[in-house]
Amino acid sequence: MKLRRQHVAGISRAITRSLETQKGVRLRADPASVAGRIATLLEDDQATERALEEEANRLLQAQLRKHSAVIDEARAFQLIKKELAKKRGFVL
């Protein structure tokens, strides 16, 4: 999922507010720090997914060069990406 930086910040603050209102949940750091950490995790996840997509695209291009048969590139890309994510334990 591709998110803009301002969306990541907003989502992080919303998650932090939600955690603050949950019964039985006590933040051990100030809300701004928690929101910042959540934002960092979301951004790291996006970077990992971008790297995964780049590798999937490289693999797809290699397959297209090898096989001149007509294939659905979008479908092949999604299958390659899904398989790479599975091998790496990354949840899409």
Phi then psi for 2, rounded to 5 degrees? -100, 125
pLDDT tens-digit readout, 23-62 = 888 999 999 999 999 999 999 999 999 999 999 999 999 9
**2-19, pLDDT tens digit by residue?**
788 889 999 999 999 999
Domain ranges of the chain: 5-88
Q: Which residues make Cβ contacts (< 8 Å) with residue 12, sequence separation at least 6?
A: 35, 36, 38, 39, 42
pTM of the model: 0.77
With DSSP H G I counted as helix, E B as strand and the rest as coil, what are the percentages for the chain, rounded to 5?
75, 0, 25
